[in-house]
Chain A
Amino acid sequence: MANKAYQKVYTKLEGITKATVSLRAAGVSNDELAVVGGRLAQVVRTKGDMVTLQVFSGTEGIPSNAEVCFLGEPPTLKVSEHLSGRFFDAYGHPIDGGPEIDGELRQIGGPSVNPYKRRQPSQLIPTGIAGIDLNNTLVSGQKIPFFADPDQPYNQVMADVALRADVDKIILGGMGLSNDDYLFFRHSFESAGALDKIICFINTTENPPVERLLIPDMALTAAEYFAVDKNEKVLVLLTDMTLYADALSIVSNRMDQIPSKDSMPGSLYSDLAKIYEKAVQLPTEGSITIIAVTTLNDGDITHAIPDNTGYITEGQLFLRADTDTGKVIIDPFRSLSRLKQLVQNKKTREDHSQVMNASVRLYADAQNAKTKLENGFDLSDYDHRCLAYAKDYARELLAIDVNISITEMLDTAWKLFAKHFTPAETGIKQTLIDKYWNGD
């Protein structure tokens, strides 16, 4: 597409910033791609005959007489079955040494699904991790991020979740991924023998930050091809969305836009929603589920990025280090899956929601006991039992290295209840106590 006949070439840039260039040109359409001094760029503003382009790989070394030619269309991706098993950069070019993909050319960042044509999500996605399956059950068609500090092993957890989930395709969109993490993903997909259902769009920390803006749309265009055209269950992994938002703020800053909270662009909510709302359960079997990562600054969820994300996504999974057991756990208080009630007790055992509530409530009692202990007040017998329970609960259920079926999780919880409490203390419905209480 870069060598159309009779292409007009411009050679006079009127302005250059770190992320954008502007020049006088005619007949340019909004969102259209261009090549500036050999680098890919996109039209973000026209004003009279003045056109502003965002240069994805940055403008370092671009001279004011650089050659600019317009390509006449927005960014596209070639979609076909051949995408499977392949690794691409932000522009959709292979980075695995394989051939270019043949297929139908599709514009990325396409239209939204008519909300009336959606179906209510209803299929459980088991992950083996009790902090997710038991307390925050995932459902296909859901969008949910991990909220984690940068030192948490969120990419490992996400790779585990992806490989255990029963889906037809896994599409990874890596933004600002460290090279080590990129190789980690590649290695774990390879060693799991799952390469044939993986597609990766990768922007590493070595690549320019503005390129990241293309990654989610690339990944989701591929996802829509498999979900809509092929009726497949697709899981999209996006890591790290905080770096994506940072790239947004760089561009808006260079375009002299007035920043809103935390120097983020005023359109952050809409920009993020456009991505996350691609998660969908289609009337056919096809679905797109999005699991993302939003890294936090010292657990601060009031920052504009996690805050806007929380308003868009259907819950969040909060990773934190548990000091009692030395393990990383999924925090049962700050995590939430908004769609869990669509599958709990319906696709899982009848005691699921009651066991979940009881186990979290007792864990909360343990936290109160801990506070009492720290403030130097005396502990009751119940407090001591709560503390002992909390340790077991964190180790055997909340820790991210757990990998058991949901039925086993429920049985483990009943075992812990019987070990530390009386039936009445759990507050569970009598009929369930009669059936599942394990007094031995």
Chain B
Amino acid sequence: MKTRGIVTGIVSNLVTVQVDGPVAENEICYIDLAGVKMMAEVIKVSGRNASVQVFESTRGLKNGDKVEFEGRMLEVTLGPGLLSSVYDGLQNDLTTMEGVFLKRGEYTKALNHEKLWDFTPLAKAGDKVIAADWLGEVKEGWLPHKIMVPFSFKGEYTVKSVKEAGQYNVDETIAVLVNEEGEDVPVTMTQKWPVKLAVKGYKEKPRPQKIMETGVRVIDTLNPIAEGGTGFIPGPFGCGKTVLQHAIAKQGDADVIVMAACGERANEVVEIFTEFPELIDPHTGRHLMERTTIICNTSNMPVAAREASVYTAMTICEYYRAMGLKCLLLADSTSRWAQALREMSNRMEELPGADAFPVDLSAIISNFYSRAGMVVLNNGKTGAVTFIGTVSPAGGNLKEPVTESTKKAARCFYALEQARADQKRYPAVNPIDSYSKYLEYPEIIEYLDKTIEKGWVDKVLNAKNIIRRGKESMEQINILGDDGVPMSYHVIYWKSELLDFTILQQDGFDPVDSLCPLERQKYMLDLVLEICGKDYEFEDYEQCRSFFKDIINDLKQMNYSEFHSEKFEEYLEKVKKLTDNGK
């Protein structure tokens, strides 16, 4: 028997419902508005009244309208066909909707139910299995998509039968399991999972063991993010948050990428639709779209679904992680999600925390970030969800609740800075404020020692130190004037500029420079540090400036040339000649 209710109060998309039976926190209900069923979620219960947030516009809703509760939380459908899909925050397929405008109460299916998939069994009759164990496999594009024992299954099951290799659609029973009570349980290629709960179904969640390459120097070299790690990018508008995230999406070394456009501009998503199908994944040579799922809840779409969109995206990542794949989740921007929480908390007249955000904001954010991570599956294989979110701090001021809460939860901090953006020093990541906690992890240090070279982290720290000293020198020069400081200040300053222009800065629109593999990053850092390590004699600061400017120019040309190409070597020769005199 479903619980029913009637609407008794409406403020914007917060609706109060008087119920006739039990309701659960986060339970889904449908409100009937003249035949249109609008989805809503319970966010508070007091006595017989449930407060629900409606995922649609409540225009025209009346007190007394009927509500039906579903007895389940907000769920997503998981199965082959998720990749290269475009969903809204509630996992409705946007591509199959009719008409130019979004229609209220129009919900479309997440997966194609006609399409046949090439199925290969992995388990056999008699096998003992538990939730998330692999029963079979289909090819989704080039990825082996595992068909698993649904995550919601509790206890141990025995495989009674598995379909033989062949073509099946997602609704056909591909295996029959027997539970501990001896009952048959059919399994299809799809399963459902409530998005607000983390998918478990793995053996353990160890500390991250390696780094995830992004091809962006200021990340990989200076502040690397671990596979299964977390990071965030705060920055005022116009500093290139979205450009940086798109670069990571295009180049990140991951099997699956889920992009959640959460409360941002629709035209940015259109850019992804337009560009991604054309672009090639540098790691596999396949079309980028084949490994990408887009969750799109732009700023003009219903506010409540913004919150749902990041959870939907995370659940899809966790699903692929359970197949032993490396997933990358990018959410732009988590501030919009926090603002959606604020709007609801406000309408419920809760006592506000800082800047009118709900008091549990910090807990909600860290809980979400904790869902990322590397896991060891039941079969010993590993999978990972790496999460990078952007934050849009009000007024560009990093001392605001969302940035501060996120800083506590995320391990990498890529601070975009207005001053750098104004000087067109892109990516505008502030080299001094930004950090990666992973550089302190013994596991990561060991990994870098092994894969790049022994003592790599010391080199990175040395580079950071050069930048820090350069900044100090620049401040002195600005106060005392070019002539007011000793020559060495100019040299220190220009060495930091050299690092800035050739390592930190990167042309995201240049076909060669935009993607810099680790091997090349090491080569360039070695070269630049070698130049910085030498002492040079100058007669005056003008000579010092032009000396370094010439080197910068040649090194930049190297960045623009194919690695070890003729041109590359030509510029290298020039640099060598220029720096020969140094001691």
Measuring CB to CB, which residues of chain A are less than 8 angstroms from any residue of chain B? 26-32, 44-49, 73-74, 107, 109-121, 141-142, 228, 256-261, 265-267, 269-270, 273-274, 277-278, 280, 282-283, 301-304, 307-308, 310-312, 314-315, 333, 336, 339, 357, 361, 364, 375, 377
Contacts and interface: CB of A to CB of B under 8 A. Distances in A.
Interface of B: 8-12, 16, 57-64, 86, 94-95, 97, 99-104, 236-238, 263, 265-267, 269-271, 273-274, 296, 298-301, 303, 336, 339-340, 342-343, 346-347, 349, 352, 355-357, 392, 394-397, 422-424, 481-482
A111 B301 CA distance: 9
Given A120-B274, A307-B395, A312-B299, A114 B9 contact: no
A116 B355 contact: no
A270 B336 CA distance: 9
Contact of B60 (A30, A48, A119, A269): A30
A258 B356 contact: yes
A120 B267 contact: yes
A114 B267 contact: no
A107 B260 CA distance: 31
B16 A47 contact: yes
A228 B100 CA distance: 9
B298 A277 contact: yes
A30 B62 contact: yes
A111 B343 contact: no
B237 to A, nearest CB: 4
10 contacts: A74-B60, A111-B57, A111-B101, A115-B94, A115-B296, A258-B346, A258-B356, A261-B355, A261-B395, A266-B346
B269 A115 contact: yes
Interchain residue pairs A-B with the least CB separation, the first 4: A302-B395, A273-B299, A277-B300, A260-B356
A98 to B, nearest CB: 30
Contacts of B273: 116
Given A261-B356, A310-B237, A310-B238, 19 more contacts: A30-B62, A31-B60, A46-B10, A109-B59, A112-B102, A117-B99, A120-B267, A120-B271, A259-B356, A260-B355, A261-B394, A265-B346, A273-B300, A274-B300, A277-B300, A304-B394, A307-B395, A308-B394, A377-B481
A114 B99 contact: yes
Nearest to A308: B394
Contacts of B58: 30-31
Contacts of B236: 310
B62 A270 contact: no
A302 B397 contact: yes
B342 to A, nearest CB: 5
Nearest to A341: B509
Contacts of B102: 111-114
Contact of A270 (B86, B299, B396, B481): B299
A282 B266 CA distance: 12
Nearest to B479: A375
A30 B103 contact: no
A56 B16 CA distance: 26
Contacts of B395: 261, 301-304, 307
A440 to B, nearest CB: 29
Contacts of A120: 267, 270-271, 274
Given A29-B60, A302-B395, A119 B270 contact: yes
Contacts of A27: 62-64
A141 B274 CA distance: 15
Residue picked from A107, A115, A260, A339, most chain B C-beta under 10 Å: A115
Nearest to A50: B9
A113 B100 contact: yes
B86 to A, nearest CB: 5
A46 B7 CA distance: 10
Given A74-B60, A114-B101, A266 B343 contact: yes
B422 A118 contact: no
B495 to A, nearest CB: 21
A302 B61 CA distance: 37
Contacts of A310: 236-238
A310 B418 CA distance: 13
A339 B347 CA distance: 36
A266 B356 contact: yes
Contacts of A315: 238
B422 A333 contact: yes
Contacts of B340: 270
Given A266-B356, A336-B238, A46 B481 contact: no
Given A120-B274, A273-B300, A302 B9 contact: no
B270 A115 contact: yes
A26 B299 contact: no
Contact of B352 (A28, A32, A258): A258
Nearest to A141: B267
Nearest to B354: A260
Contacts of A110: 101
A302 to B, nearest CB: 3
B300 A282 contact: no
Nearest to B97: A114
B299 A269 contact: yes
Nearest to B400: A261
Nearest to A427: B553
Nearest to B100: A117
B35 to A, nearest CB: 14
B152 to A, nearest CB: 31
Contacts of B356: 258-261, 266
Given A120-B271, A261-B394, A277 B9 contact: no
Contacts of A28: 62-63
A29 to B, nearest CB: 4
B11 A270 contact: no
A116 B297 CA distance: 11
B8 A48 contact: yes
B544 to A, nearest CB: 15
A269 B298 contact: no
A144 to B, nearest CB: 12
A348 B482 CA distance: 42
Contacts of A228: 100
Contacts of B8: 47-48
Nearest to A269: B339
Nearest to A375: B481
A31 B58 CA distance: 8
Nearest to B264: A311
A49 B63 contact: yes
Contacts of A314: 265, 267
A270 B395 CA distance: 17
B312 to A, nearest CB: 16
Contact of B10 (A45, A270, A339): A45
Nearest to B352: A258
Most B Cβ at <10 Å: residue of A30, A49, A257: A30
